[in-house]
Chains A and B, each alone.
Chain A
Amino acid sequence: MIAEIVGEFLVLFGTIFYFLSSLGLIRMPDVYNRMQTATKSATLGSLGVIIGVGIWAIGYVGSYAWLPKTLVIAVFLLLTNPISAHALIRAAYKSGIPLWEGSIVDKYGEYLKKEKEASEETKEGEQ
C-alpha cells in the first residue's frame, strides 16, 4: 500500500520534470541553454519514473524482482546521459553554432583562438 503510493508519487514527479524539460526546449534561446534543460530535467525525470515503477511493482504486482533491475537501468542512465550531453554540446560548438547574443563570456573561444595562433606561430618558426 505504502509502496504503491510512493511509486505513484515518484512517477508523477518524474513526468512533471519530463514536461519541464520539453517546455525548456521551447523557451530557451539557443542550443547550449536548451541542452541545460534537456539533460538535467530529463535525467531526473527518468530516474523518478524508472525507480518509481520498481517501487510501484512491490505494492501492485507484489514482486521484489523489479526494483533491482530498475535500479541498474537508472544507474546506467545516470552515468551515460551526461556523457551524451557533453558530446552533443561539444559537437555543436565545434561545428560553429554561435552563442546566444546575451552571453557574457566565452573562455573556450578565447582558448581555441590562442591555441590556433600558437600552432600557426610554431609552423612559421619551422619554415
Chain B
Amino acid sequence: MEEASRISRYLYTVIVLFVIWLFLTSSLDPQELIIGALFSLIVAALTYEVFTEKGLANLHPKRIAYAVAYVPYFLWAMIMANLDVAYRVLHPKRPINPGIVECKTVLRNNVGKLTLANSITLTPGTITLDVKGDRYFIHWIDVKDATVEGASENITKPFEKFLKVIFE
C-alpha cells in the first residue's frame, strides 16, 4: 500500500491528538482549546511519520461507520469471553482442552493485524502467541478444530469482515 501525502498524514495526527486532548481536559474553555491545538500541532509534527501511513483516508465515512459498528460487536464478544472464562473457572471439573493452533488471515495492513491480534486476545478462549507474516499462532483453551482452515473459520473470520473494511 502506497503512503498518503505528508500533509494528509500530518493533519490526521493532529486531529487524533486534539480529540484525545478534548477528552483528557473535558472542558471547552477557549484557553484550553488554543493550548491543546498548539500542542497537538507540535507533537504531530514530531510523530506523524510513525503514527500513520494512510493519513486522512482513515476518516472515510464507510470506515468510521464500520469502526462504530465494530465497538458494540467487540464488547459483546468480550462479555461472552468473560462468561466463558467464568464458566471454566467455576466448573468443578475444569473443562479445558488447550493447545496452540495456527490461523491464516487475509489482512495485509500492520495496524489491521495488530487490531486483529488484540481482538483475538480479548475474545473467547484464545490468546495470540506470535504473528509471522499472515500466520497467527494462537493458544486456544478449548481446541475444537486443530487444522489451519478450521481454526481460522472459528477464530479470525468473525472479526475480519469488519477489520477488512476499516484498515484495508
Task: Give residues of chain A (75-123) contacting chain B, Cβ–Cβ below 8 Å.
Answer: 78-79, 81-83, 85-86, 89-90, 93, 99-100, 102-109, 111
**Contact A20 B127, beta carbon cutoff 8 Å:** no
Cα distance A78–B79 when bound, in Å?
Answer: 13
Chain B residues with a Cβ closer than 8 Å to the other chain, count: 39
Question: Which single member of B20, B101, B122, B135 contacts A43 (CB below 8 Å)?
Answer: B122
Interface of B is mostly: mixed
CB pair B97 A32 closer than 8 Å: no
Q: Which of chain B's residues have a CB closer than 8 A to the CB of A100? A: 98
Q: Which of B110-168 contact A (CB under 8 A)?
A: 117-118, 121-122, 125, 127-130, 132, 135, 137, 139, 141, 143, 146
Interface-lining segment among B1-9, B22-30, B35-43, B51-59: B22-30
Are the C-beta atoms of A99 and B129 separated by less than 8 Å? no
Minimum CB distance partner of A17 in chain B: B82
> Looking at B88, B127, B130, which has the most chain A CB atoms within 10 Å of its CB?
B127
Among B98, B117, B137, point to the contact of A82 (Cβ < 8 A): B117
CA of A28 to CA of B27, assembled, Å: 46
Main secondary structure of the interface of A (DSSP, over half): helix
Q: Across the interface, do B82 and A41 meet the contact criterion of CB distance under 8 Å?
A: yes
Q: Which of B23, B121, B132 has the most CB of A within 10 A?
A: B121
Q: Are B102 and A33 closer than 8 Å at their CB atoms?
A: no
A109 to chain B: which residues have CB within 8 Å? 100
A44 on the interface (CB 8 Å rule)? yes
A90 & B89 in contact (Cβ 8 Å cutoff): no
Nearest B residue (CB) for A100: B98
Q: Are A68 and B143 in contact (CB under 8 A)?
A: no
Which residue of chain A lies nearest to B98 when distances are taken between CB atoms in the complex?
A103
Whole-angstrom distance from the CB of A63 to the nearest CB of chain B? 9
Q: Is B23 in contact with A40, judged by CB distance below 8 angstroms?
A: no
- Are B85 and A40 in touch, CB under 8 angstroms? yes
B23, A68: Cβ atoms closer than 8 Å: yes
| Closest 10 pairs (CB-CB, A-B) | A82-B121, A104-B99, A68-B26, A107-B102, A105-B99, A108-B137, A82-B118, A68-B23, A24-B89, A105-B146
6 new A-B pairs (CB below 8 Å) besides A17-B82, A44-B78, A64-B26? Answer: A17-B86, A20-B85, A41-B85, A69-B23, A82-B122, A99-B100
